[in-house]
Structure 1
């Protein structure tokens, strides 16, 4: 068999490389228990964490796809920043700018974590080539409206989507345990605890470091 026939034969048998190594959906709680200052703390803290040197390098190396979702009551979830690829540090910095400037859509509504997971899960159909699918959900209270988060777990597992959480224990001291039992799902899933909104920026940075450096290690 000639060189070109061998080359073309191998070309068609070799599966295409993944377009990215990580699709990360950032799902932010904007329910009625979150006031305007606390919302701003979340968005500024998240934007700052995305610019962390270690986090940003890992995201760019992974050519990660990033998306932002605001969520609250059972019929109020919206993708406010669609999938954006961290193809360069400039692209990631622009995404972080959009996060910091993202206007709040709702206030004074309930907490529907199940629907937040459903809506976010559906958006992963747009990034099928990413090797790893992850939802990073923040919240300051248990689900009190709509479907139970546990009811979504079967579909999340079937699609290979991992859910990690950051529990903001501003007024719910047992929230971390609730998130462990009801929200997170997938191999290696974990909960990071913030002792109030003031602690959120440091904890979201720690959480992203854990998530993205895990991906970097898999690439080495």
Structure 2
């Protein structure tokens, strides 16, 4: 039987129905946010990305989704990535169980300064790093990577090759595609979105969302987080 849930109270009903086994898994979602800091991202755009993520997490609608009162928390980790040798953790795993915990994560993200990074775009290597982070969150019901990017993989293993290894059999990959904001960028933006939709996102419930330039990043991330934070569907195959 499939049970579709969209609210914290519904999640609580599921916990009560499943009994002790559900209480052993009090984390409903392990969410990794991966921020692109490759050579195509300048200092101003990096600032918009970091501050945009902090603003999205601080939005009342996102707070309400994270702190939904169900007793099932969200665990969050954030890192920046670029070339094959650069994945830097900004926010280690933290359980967002209270407003104070969420405030601390937001402050840490907002206060982060970009670390020296390579110029290339090693998205497959970055995703492999994300998969390794989930080893510390094995009890979470759902594991999701939210990868932001404004370009295609151009060095190292590709996302498609990585998925063939089976490392992402229980991990969903969503994408926030950062395209140009001008009318002249429409074709390139469409091409980039198609790339992310066909070669980057992974899992039957996965999706890609567009940000129309870095000025739109905060709003696009807010909408994306609200969608990702929906309580999962139990009893349905995700892959």
Matched, 1:181 2:198: yes
Q: CA deviation at 1:194?
A: 1.0
CA distance in 2, matches of 1:132, 1:23: 6
How far did residue 107 of structure 1 move? 4.0
Asked if 1:37 corresponds to 2:44, the answer is yes
State which structure, 1 or 2, has the greater radius of gyration over its C-alpha atoms.
1
Which of residues 52, 74, 77 in structure 1 aligns to 2:84?
74
Change (3 A) 1:151 1:116: same
Deviations 1:134-162 (A, max 9, x none): 0000000001111111112233432x100
Residue aligning to 1:192: 209
Deviating 4+ runs (over 3 angstroms): none
Report the alpha carbon displacement of residue 216 of structure 1 after superposing the two structures with TM. 7.3
1:56 to partner: Cα distance? 1.3
Equivalent residues in 2 for 1:91-110 (5 A)? 91-107=101-117, 109-110=119-120
Paired positions, count: 204
Deviations 1:150-179 (A, max 9, x none): 112233432x10000010013642111000
Q: Distance in 2 between matches of 1:131 and 1:204?
A: 22
Residue number in structure 2 paired with 1:130 = 140
Cα distance between partner residues in 2 of 1:120 and 1:108: 18
* Superposition pairs of residues 22-61 of structure 1, within 5 angstroms: 22-61=29-68
Question: Which stretches in structure 2 are left out of the alignment for 5+ residues?
Answer: 1-18, 235-239
Match of 1:206 among 223, 228, 232: 223
Q: CA deviation at 1:53?
A: 1.5
Contact 2:82 2:120 in 1 (8 A): yes
Deviations 1:5-34 (A, max 9, x none): xxxxxxxx9435213100000000000100
